[in-house]
Amino acid sequence: MTKVRKAVIPVAGYSTGFLPATKASPKELLPIVDKPIIQFIVEEAMASGIEEILIITGKHKRSIEDHFDSAIELESNLSEKEKWDLLELVKDTTMPNLFFVRQSYPLGLGDAIYQAKAFVSDEPFVVMLGDNIIDSEVPVTKQLIDLYNETQQMNVALMETPEKDLSKYGNVDKGTLIAYYGNGNDVIKINHFIEKPTKENILSSYAIAGRYVLTPEIFDVLAKQDPGVDDKIQLTDALEKISEVQTVLGRVVDANRHDVGNKVGYVQYSIEYGLEHPEIADGLRELVIKKAEELKNN
Contact 110, 234 (CB under 8 A): yes
**Nearest alpha-carbon partner for 95 in 44, 30, 43, 130:** 43
Of 133-141, 204-212, 241-249, 270-278, the segment contacting ligand G1P by CB under 6 A is 204-212
In this complex, which beta carbon is closest to ligand G1P, that of residue 27 or of residue 142?
27
- Give the number of residues written for the chain: 298
Q: For strands 206-214 and 170-172, give the pairing.
A: antiparallel
Q: Is 132 in the site for ligand G1P (CB under 6 A)?
A: yes
Among 55, 109, 213, 238, binds ligand G1P (CB under 6 A): 109
Of 45-53, 97-105, 125-133, 181-189, the segment contacting ligand G1P by CB under 6 A is 125-133
Contact 114, 95 (CB under 8 A): no
Calculated CA dihedral for residues 105, 23, 135, 116, nearest 10 degrees:
20
C-alpha to C-alpha distance for 115 and 102, rounded to whole angstroms: 8
In this complex, which beta carbon is closest to ligand G1P, that of residue 139 or of residue 170?
170
Neighbours of 272 (CB within 10 A): 14
Of 1-9, 118-126, 159-167, 206-214, the segment contacting ligand G1P by CB under 6 A is 206-214
DSSP 8-class letter at 188:
E
Q: Is 48 in the site for ligand G1P (CB under 6 A)?
A: no
In this complex, which beta carbon is closest to ligand G1P, that of residue 31 or of residue 106?
106
Contact 115, 102 (CB under 8 A): yes
Q: Is 208 in the site for ligand G1P (CB under 6 A)?
A: yes
- What 3-state DSSP class applies to 26? coil
Q: Is 207 in the site for ligand G1P (CB under 6 A)?
A: yes
Of 76-84, 96-104, 202-210, 280-288, the segment contacting ligand G1P by CB under 6 A is 202-210
Cis peptide bond N-terminal to 139, omega within 30: no
Backbone angles phi, psi at 85, to 5 degrees: -60, -45
What pairs with residue 219 in β-bridges? none
- Taking CB atoms, the residue at the shortest distance from ligand G1P is 170
Q: Is 186 in the site for ligand G1P (CB under 6 A)?
A: no
The site map against ligand G1P for 134-173 (x = CB under 6 A) is -----------------------------------xx---
Of 23-31, 88-96, 147-155, 207-215, the segment contacting ligand G1P by CB under 6 A is 207-215
Among 15, 115, 161, 236, binds ligand G1P (CB under 6 A): 236
Q: How many CA atoms lie within 13 A of 190 on its CB side?
A: 29
Total binding residues for ligand G1P by CB under 6 A?
12
DSSP 8-class letter at 225:
P
Q: Is 129 in the site for ligand G1P (CB under 6 A)?
A: yes
In this complex, which beta carbon is closest to ligand G1P, that of residue 78 or of residue 211?
211
Quote the least distance from Cβ 262 to ligand G1P, whole Å. 9
In this complex, which beta carbon is closest to ligand G1P, that of residue 129 or of residue 147?
129
Angle at 202 between CA 199 and CA 204, to 5 degrees: 135
Quote the least distance from Cβ 232 to ligand G1P, whole Å. 9
C-alpha to C-alpha distance for 237 and 197, rounded to whole angstroms: 12
Q: Which residues bind ligand G1P (CB under 6 A)?
A: 109, 129, 131-132, 169-170, 195, 207-208, 210, 235-236
